[in-house]
Structure formats: structure tokens, C-alpha cells
């Protein structure tokens, strides 16, 4: 029974990949408007196409449409909660949305940003991008929203184990930010 379920899931994912291929090519060629249109149309046919949600969100993100990007990326991360990159890009979309929002909305988005980066780092401990995102969150967030120099330094140490230069850059940013405050 497990084998049948495995093959069924494999077939569904393969079909989604084939259907998504033209849109992925648009995305890779930086044709984000065409990619966005392609994946929006694809989602009208199949609302559970995780790749369509992901690439629609990424396309919208690249076009600076952060709130709709977060909506699509949230769908992708809900459909495939085991995928680090979906959580990472969801956190990025929330973060960019917060950057252009008022203080109240920022406070609402802060825990979502943190949870997204934490999930991405937990699911893929070797993801330098996820750890950098988490370190940046800890550096920038106020203490009452989970910001912490100590936690940022923990992420910097984890990054250093993967890439010494990146880790040292994060440490330098942490101390530079502390000096400004």
C-alpha cells in the first residue's frame, strides 16, 4: 500500500513538473511577468500545483509585489511543509512586505518572518541563505519580537561551519549594527 501511495505521489509531482516547465523557463530567463501569467493560469486548472504556487510567488516577489507573493508562497509551504526553500522565500516575502508597512503590520508580520526562517533552517541545516535570513532577523527585530544579538551570533557560528567567510561577514554585521545602536 505504501509503495502504491509513493508511486501515485511521484506521478502527481512529475505531472506538475511537466506542466510547470514553460513557466519555469520564463522565470529562469527573468521574464517574471510572463512567468506570473503562466503560473496564475496554471493554478486556475490545478489549485494544488505546488510548483505553480512557488514560482508564482517567486515571480511576484521579483516584481516587487510582496503581499501577493507571500500568499502564493504560503500555499506552497502549506502544500509541501517539508520544503526548506518554500519557507525561506515565504519569510523573505513577509520581510519585504514588512519593510514597506506601518509599525502595526510589521509587528503582525515579525513572528511569521521568524517562523519562516526557523523552519527553513530546521528543514535544511546546511542552507546558508536560511541561516543568514534568520541571523538578519535576530539582528533587526526588537527584543520583544524575538530579536537577540546572542541568537544572531549562534546563527553566525553555524554559518561559519558551512562557509567561514559568510560567517565572519555576519559577525561583522552584528557588531557593526550594535555599534550604531
The CATH number covering residue 149 comes to: 1.25.40
pTM: 0.87
> Which stretches of the chain are DSSP H helices?
2-28, 32-45, 50-62, 66-79, 84-99, 103-123, 128-140, 149-162, 164-180
pLDDT tens, per residue, the chain with 181 residues:
545 433 334 334 444 545 578 889 999 999 999 999 999 999 999 999 999 999 999 999 999 999 999 999 999 999 999 999 999 999 999 999 999 999 999 999 999 999 999 999 999 999 999 999 999 999 999 999 999 999 999 999 999 999 999 999 999 999 998 887 6
The CATH number covering residue 5 comes to: 1.25.40.10
The domain of 141 spans 106-181
Domain count, the chain: 2
Are 114 and 179 part of one and the same domain? yes
Amino acid at each position: 500500500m505504501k509503495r502504491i501511495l509513493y508511486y501515485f505521489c511521484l506521478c502527481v509531482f512529475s505531472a506538475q513538473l511537466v506542466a510547470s516547465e514553460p513557466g519555469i523557463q520564463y522565470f529562469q530567463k527573468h521574464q517574471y511577468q510572463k512567468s506570473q501569467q503562466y503560473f496564475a493560469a496554471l493554478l486556475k486548472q490545478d489549485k494544488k500545483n505546488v510548483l505553480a504556487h512557488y514560482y508564482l510567488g517567486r515571480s511576484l516577489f521579483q516584481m516587487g509585489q510582496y503581499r501577493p507573493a507571500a500568499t502564493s508562497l504560503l500555499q506552497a509551504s502549506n502544500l509541501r511543509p517539508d520544503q526548506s526553500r518554500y519557507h525561506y522565500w515565504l519569510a523573505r516575502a513577509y520581510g519585504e512586505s514588512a519593510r514597506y508597512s506601518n509599525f502595526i503590520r510589521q509587528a503582525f508580520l515579525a513572528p511569521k518572518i521568524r517562523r519562516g526562517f526557523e523552519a527553513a533552517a530546521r528543514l535544511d541545516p546546511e542552507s546558508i541563505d536560511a541561516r543568514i535570513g534568520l541571523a538578519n532577523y535576530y539582528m533587526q527585530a526588537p527584543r520583544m519580537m524575538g530579536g537577540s544579538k546572542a541568537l544572531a551570533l549562534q546563527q553566525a557560528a553555524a554559518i561559519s561551519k558551512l562557509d567561514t567567510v559568510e560567517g565572519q561577514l555576519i559577525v561583522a554585521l552584528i557588531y557593526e549594527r550594535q555599534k550604531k545602536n
